Structure formats: structure tokens, C-alpha cells
Amino acid sequence: MLTRRIALTAAALLLSQGAASAQERLKAVATFSILADFVKNVGGDRVEVHALVGPNADAHVYQPSPADAKTLAGAKVIFTNGLGFEGWIARLIKASGTRAPMIVATKGVMPRRMDEEGHAQADPHAWQSVPNAKTYVANIRDGLIAVDPDASATYEANASAYLAKLDALDSEVRAAVEKIPVDRRRIITTHDAFGYFAAAYEVAFIAPQGVSTESEISAKDVAKIITQIRKQKIPAVFLENITDDRLLKRIGAESGARIGGTLYSDALTDEKGSAPTYIDMMRHNVKQLVEALTS
Amino acid sequence: MIYNTLISPFVEFAFMRRALVGTLALALGAGPVGVFLMLRRMSLVGDAMAHAILPGAAIGFLISGLSLFAMTAGGLIAGFVIAVGAGVIARVTELKEDASLAAFFLISLAVGVTIVSLKGTNIDLLHFLFGSVLALDNQTLLLIAAITTLSLIVLAVIYRPLVLECVDPGFLRSVSRAGGPAHIAFLALVVMNLVGGFHALGTLLAVGIMMLPAVTARFWARDVTMMILIAVAVGAVSGYAGLLLSFHVGAPSGPAIILVAGVLYAGSVLFGRVGGVLRLAFPGRHLEA
């Protein structure tokens, strides 16, 4: 009898403690995996972050589910990319009835214009340049401190440690790109997500479609790409993790361009993949570029 | 000018040649199968089966990505399971075969879309539904060609019981027991051709290159052999013209191919020699000896 009571009390104690430590962690929601990685790095152990669009998924064509609205309703703070990247987020926030503040991570980033189906709009893929990533981190730090001022010291420390890592990454990327001869720094990829990378590191990314992954490609488009590669003698074609790579393989075979590995643009991979974190992703992309363009 | 419009796209670009070869092979295999589906009043069964393939292909995709073998095997298995399942339920219960097939394919479609979306990559759903005729690689072309070859051989073997069962099933039962096996072999052909078409045109449109040429051919011939030849020709012309349309106008290629077949069908409804609208409105003079 006595032992049972002790066991019960112990169990109750354990339970309450478990609940308490879960409560202590700040529930944050980030709209996609790369942003979630930044939040994880700044928040450390104090923040539990959930990405609405997980690894390997395309935020452009994402369909919110009721579970996402529930996640949002339970969040204390919401991080978005902004610049029109998550067209669905405003409606989802409204639907979820959450009162959590929304932090736009690209605040202060100079937006590039991109031409989408004839009309110019802001290019949302700002994280593709490391200096911009530092702006993201600063915004996330300030956002976390605003909702959880008690832990401001932790956030400050985490952020400055991570910012130092990003500085190192930036010079690493620059050094790697230097190795590629200037006239060979031209590639074609399926998705024009690399505008900021191109501007920061002087590599020309030529998008074959000029539109996001939404529209279905026609024979005319494919013919145009192949003609373009042949005419401009573009050395390499790159695949992306979220569109049909068979088509690009065909294009490569037919135009004589080298098929590079996969470049990650909008999403990280899962733990087993080659880009589970933002830093891994940038390193991976640069390595692929250097390999395809220097040989 | 004519050369530039009609021929040079295929001379200049290998992907156009591949797409053309793929669609021609599909037309050759799927055309005859479509004619028999129509004659057996199973025109909509093709559509149901096409949707039934989706979850199998999706599971194959889930296990090993865009792998030709896994998706083909998955599609074939799912197709057979649904065909046999619907047949068994029709035999054992009160439900008619078409009704149980309807239930099966709707469930399959929902399961398929769910599986593809659960993987997290929503964009791939489009490739499932619409295929990628422009991205046919050697393996896929060989698969389609193999399916077509096998279809033609099997059709040649089961041709007589198949035709007999279409026109007079009672007579066939009284003289031979080949009706049942022929029916099953035929269903297998339907599934195989749909899986082949799925790689090029996707689950939604694969059935288009099977049924539209067949129903078009119905307006031009009374004889089964003639109907099959016309169906193959219509399928081939649709593939060729659809690819050209996609090349010059920029229409997505899969839908363009099926649209051309649709236009040919509409024309045949109006002008068809056998039971077309105009023919029925203005029947030829009755010939007298």
C-alpha cells in the first residue's frame, strides 16, 4: 500500500515536472525550415521551434492544414520570411485566432526585384546571401527578446556566437567562388531563387523558366532553354531538390552542359540529407558550384 | 516554312524525338485496348483504373523516389488489386461491378493524393497527375515500348474470344471457355497500358490517349480491325500535333496532346461517316438496283 502511494506521488511529481519544463520552453513557429534553423540557433534550449513547411517541401505550393492552425494557436511567437514568400500566412494566422506577435525576419533587408510573369515583385529568397542571413538572425534575436525578456542574455549570447559562425561562412563562400574563373561563373537552374546569392558573390544564375515552380513546362520552354545553353555556352546546369530532375537531365544531355549536383534553395533536407542546417546548405551549394564550374 | 513548322523541331531537339516516339508507342498499344474497352461498354472503366494506379505509384515513389521500376511495379500492383477486388466484390455481393469499381477508384485516388502529399513534396503531385512526356529517358521509353509490344502480342492471341465476347457473349460461352481468361488478360493489358501512359502523360491523361482515339474511330468504321487501325492513327496524329502545339504555342505538352485528340473527336462527331451528326441529318440517297 505504502509503496503504491510512493510510486503514485513520484509519478505525479515527475509528470508535473515534465509539464513545467515543457512550459518553460518558449513555443515558436517558423514558416519554413531555413527560418526554423535560424530560430533554433538563436533560441537554443529555451525555444521549441516548429517549421510549418518542413524539410524538402516547397513553400511556394504549400497547403496549410488544420493542424498548422492549431500549432499557430499554441505559439508564443511566429517568425515569417516576408517579401511575399508565404502568401498563405496572413489567412492562416487569422484562421488560427492566435495572438502571438509575428516577426518578419527580412525587416531591413534591401529587397531585390524579380520579374515574375511580366510584373516585377520583391524576390523573397533573401537568405541566399549570408549578409542577409545575419539580418534575419538579428531580427529573430530582437523578436525573441521582446516576447521573453527574462532570457535576453541567453539570446544575445547565442545570436552573437551564431553571427560569428555566419561571418566565417561568408568569407568561406567568397574564397571558394574566387577559385572559379570569372567567365565561367554562369549556370542555369530550374528556380530563380539565387538572385541574392548572385548579387553577393558574383555568380550569374540564369533561370530557364523565369517563373516559380508553379507552372507546367511546355516543349517551347525546354527548346528555349536548350537553345540558350548552346548559344551562350553555359558550362553547367543545376538541379533543385523540389522539381522534376529528369527533365533537367534530358536538357543537360542534349545541350552538352554539365549537370551539377543538387542546389538547395527554399528548403533544408532532413537529418540524413546533405543540408540539414543553413550553414550546411550554403557550404553544400558552394561546393557543388565550384565542382561543376572549375573542372 | 512547312519544314520549319512541322519537322525541324524534331530534327533539332532530341527531347522532341523522344516524346514523339513515346507517344507513338503509347498510341500503338493503347489504341486497340481502348477500342475493346469501348466495344465492351467499359469506356469509363479505363478512367477508374487510371485513378486506381495512383496510390501504388505513390507508394513506389515514397519508398524510392522518382524511380521508374518502383513506380511501375507499384502502379501495376495497385491496378491489379483494384481490378480483381472490384470483380470479386461484384461476384460475392449485391453490388454491380461498375459501382464497386467507382468506390475502389475514389478511395484509391484519395489514398494516392494523401500519400504523395505526406511525403511533403507537394510539387511532385503534378508529375503524378500530368506526367512529363518531355522528360522521357531511355529506361522509360524502353518500358513503354515493351508494354506496347506485349500488348500487341497478347491482343493477337486473345483477339478472337475478345471480339466474340463483345458481339455475342452467349455464343462464346456455348462454344468455348476462353471468355474468362481472355477477359482477365484484357484487364491486365488495360492496367499495363495505363501504367505506361502514366509515365508520359500522368494518371489523369493516360486514359485520354486510350479512349479518345477509340471513340473517334467509332465514327469512321463499323469493322473492328478498321476501327483499331483508325484509333492507332488518331492517337499517333494527336501525339505529333500535340507536341507541335506545345512547341510552337507553349501549351503544356500532355494536355496539348489530349486536346488535339479531343478536337479530332469533336470533328468526327460532326462529320463522321458512321453515325456522325451530319450523316444522320442528311443520309445519302438510298441506292436501288
Does B78 map to a domain? yes
What does the block give as the cell for B86? 472490384
How do beta strands A47-53 and A26-32 pair? Answer: parallel
**pLDDT computed for residue A277 by the predictor:** 94
What is the C-alpha radius of gyration for chain B, rounded to an integer number of angstroms? 20
Say how many C-beta atoms besides its own lie within 10 A of residue B207's C-beta: 29
Q: Are A163 and A117 in contact (CB under 8 A)?
A: no
Q: Are A196 and A128 in contact (CB under 8 A)?
A: yes
**Is residue A80 helix, strand or coil?**
strand
Q: How far apart are CA B14 and CA A226, in angstroms?
A: 10
Residue A249 sits at the chain B interface (C-beta within 8 Å): yes
> Cβ of B137 and A246 within 8 Å?
yes
What does the block give as the cell for A157? 549570447
Amino acid at B84: V
**pLDDT computed for residue A241 by the predictor:** 44
Does B173 map to a domain? yes
Among A139-143, A203-207, B246-250, the minimum mean pLDDT is found in A203-207
**pLDDT computed for residue A25 by the predictor:** 87
**pLDDT computed for residue A84 by the predictor:** 85
Domain CATH for B39: 1.10.3470.10
> Cβ of B247 and A243 within 8 Å?
no
Q: How many helices (H) and strands (E) does chain A have?
A: 10, 10
Does B238 map to a domain? yes
Q: Which pTM was predicted? A: 0.69
Does B181 map to a domain? yes
Does B285 map to a domain? no
**What b/e string do you get for B213-223 counting C-beta neighbours within 10 Å, with b at 16 or more?**
bbbbbbbbbee
How far does CA B227 lie from the centroid of its chain? Answer: 15
Average pLDDT over residues A261-275: 85
**What b/e string do you get for B168-182 counting C-beta neighbours within 10 Å, with b at 16 or more?**
eeeebeeeeebbeeb
Domain with CATH 3.40.50.1980 in chain A: 24-171, 177-294
Nearest CB among B19, B127, B243 relative to A244 is that of B127
Q: How far apart are CA A136 and CA A151, in angstroms?
A: 19
DSSP A206-263: E-SSSS-TTSPPBHHHHHHHHHHHHHHT--EEEEETTS-HHHHHHHHHHH--EEEEEE
Does B243 map to a domain? yes
On whether the A24-171 domain is CATH 3.40.50.1980, my answer is yes
* Confidence grade of residue A225 (pLDDT, cut at 50, 70, 90): confident
A–B CB contacts, 8 A cutoff, strictly below: 84
What is residue B287's DSSP assignment? P
Q: For B253, name the nearest residue in chain A, comparing CA atoms only.
A: A218
Instruction: Determine the residue among A216, A227, A239, A242 to mutate to test chain B binding: the one whose Cβ has the most chain B Cβ atoms within 10 Å.
Output: A216
Q: Are B270 and B277 in contact (CB under 8 A)?
A: yes
pLDDT beneath 50, residues of chain B? 122-123
What is residue A273's DSSP assignment? S
> Cβ of A244 and B132 within 8 Å?
yes
Q: How far apart are CA B220 and CA B230, in angstroms?
A: 8
Q: What is the dihedral of CA A57, A60, A61, A63, to 10 degrees?
A: 80
Q: Are A189 and A128 in contact (CB under 8 A)?
A: no
Instruction: Determine the residue among A243, A250, A265 to mutate to test chain B binding: the one whose Cβ has the most chain B Cβ atoms within 10 Å.
Output: A250
- Give me the phi and psi of B119, to 5 degrees please: -60, -20
**pLDDT computed for residue B122 by the predictor:** 47
Q: Which CATH number fits domain A177-294: 3.40.640.10, 3.50.50.60, 3.40.50.970, 3.40.50.1980?
A: 3.40.50.1980
Closest alpha carbon to A110 in A122, A120, A118:
A122
* Confidence grade of residue A22 (pLDDT, cut at 50, 70, 90): very low
Domain hosting B183: range is: 2-279
Does B41 map to a domain? yes
**pLDDT computed for residue B254 by the predictor:** 87
Among A95-99, A199-203, B131-135, the minimum mean pLDDT is found in B131-135
Report ipTM for this prediction: 0.77
Q: Could you report the per-residue pLDDT of B5-63, keeping only the tens digit for each?
A: 888 889 888 889 999 999 999 999 999 999 999 998 888 888 888 888 888 888 888 78
CA atoms B199, B201, B207, B210: torsion sign? negative
Domain count, chain B: 1
Residue A117 sits at the chain B interface (C-beta within 8 Å): no
**pLDDT computed for residue A212 by the predictor:** 39
Task: Say which residue, B148 or A114, is predicted with more confidence.
Answer: B148
Q: How far apart are CA A234 and CA B108, in angstroms?
A: 44
> Cβ of A250 and B135 within 8 Å?
yes
Task: Say which residue, A94 or A279, is predicted with more confidence.
Answer: A279
Q: How far apart are CA B286 and CA B276, in angstroms?
A: 17
